[in-house]
Chain A
C-alpha cells in the first residue's frame, strides 16, 4: 500500500529537549515536505526536499532542521523545542496527479507535538 508513515503520532516534551519526528514514504517520490497545521492559519510549509541531499526552507522554517540522506526518509528535527512549536505536523510526498499537469500530495497521519 502506498503510504507516508510518520512517528510518533503523539509527543509531549519539555522546552529545549531535542527531538526528531520521522517520516518515510514507499512510493519512490522525489519531492517531500513538512507542514504544520495551526488553528486559523491552515497548513504552512516548514521545509521541503527536491531529492536526496537537496533541501530548502519553506514558509516557516525557524527552529527546525531537516535531512534527506535517503530518498524514502525525511526526518524533521527540533534542536531546542519551544512552546510556540506546539502544533500538528504533517509530512507529505508529492506525485503527479494522473491526467493533470499538477502535483498532489500524499500526507502522513500527523504528529501532534506539545512542548511544555
Chain B
C-alpha cells in the first residue's frame, strides 16, 4: 500500500518558468512532509519541509504548499534553473517517529 504517491514519473519545464511537483498521501497521521532532491550517482539530499500546522513554507526559489483536506502537497520552483534537473522525492513522517515514508519520485528536466 503506497501511502505517499507521486503520480507523475517525469516533468519537463522550460528554464525560467515555474516547476510544480505534486504529491498525495493517504495516511492522515502524517504531520510532517519533506522534499528531497537526488542527482545521478548521489544520495538524496534534504530540500525543504512543511509541518501540517502550516499551509505554506518558502525557502528562496522553493515553496511547498500543503492542502490537508485534500491530502495533497506540491513543490513550486520559481524560476526553474538547469541545475534543478534531478529526481525529487516527497516524504512524510509522523511526529516523534524516526521513519520517513517516500513517494516514487518525479524526474524533473529543465530545458534551456
B59 at interface (Cβ–Cβ under 8 A)? no
**B90 nearest in chain A by CB position:** A42
- Report whether B45 and A102 are in contact in the complex, using a CB–CB cutoff of 8 Å: no
**A100 nearest in chain B by CB position:** B49
**A38 nearest in chain B by CB position:** B104
A23 to chain B, nearest CB (A): 11
A103 at interface (Cβ–Cβ under 8 A)? yes
Cross-chain contact of A104 among B4, B31, B49, B97 (Cβ < 8 A): B49
A109 to chain B, nearest CB (A): 5
Question: Interface size class for chain A?
Answer: 20 to 34
**B100 nearest in chain A by CB position:** A105
- Report whether A107 and B104 are in contact in the complex, using a CB–CB cutoff of 8 Å: no
Complex Cα gap A4–B105 (Å): 22
- Report whether A42 and B103 are in contact in the complex, using a CB–CB cutoff of 8 Å: yes
A67 at interface (Cβ–Cβ under 8 A)? no
What sequence of 0s and 1s flags, for each residue 82-116 of chain A, a beta carbon within 8 Å of any chain B beta carbon? 00000000101010010011111101111000000
Q: Which residues of B contact A (CB under 8 A)?
A: 4, 6, 9, 31-32, 34, 36, 41-46, 49, 51, 89, 93, 95-100, 102-105
Q: Which residues of A contact B (CB under 8 A)?
A: 4, 31, 33, 35, 37, 40-45, 48, 50, 58, 90, 92, 94, 97, 100-105, 107-110
- Nearest 3 Cβ contacts at the A-B interface: A107-B43, A102-B32, A42-B104
6 contacts between A and B (CB under 8 A): A42-B102, A90-B44, A100-B32, A102-B95, A105-B44, A107-B45
**Further contacts, 11 of them, CB under 8 A, given A35-B102, A45-B99, A104-B34:** A42-B6, A48-B98, A58-B99, A92-B43, A100-B51, A101-B32, A101-B96, A102-B32, A104-B46, A104-B100, A105-B100
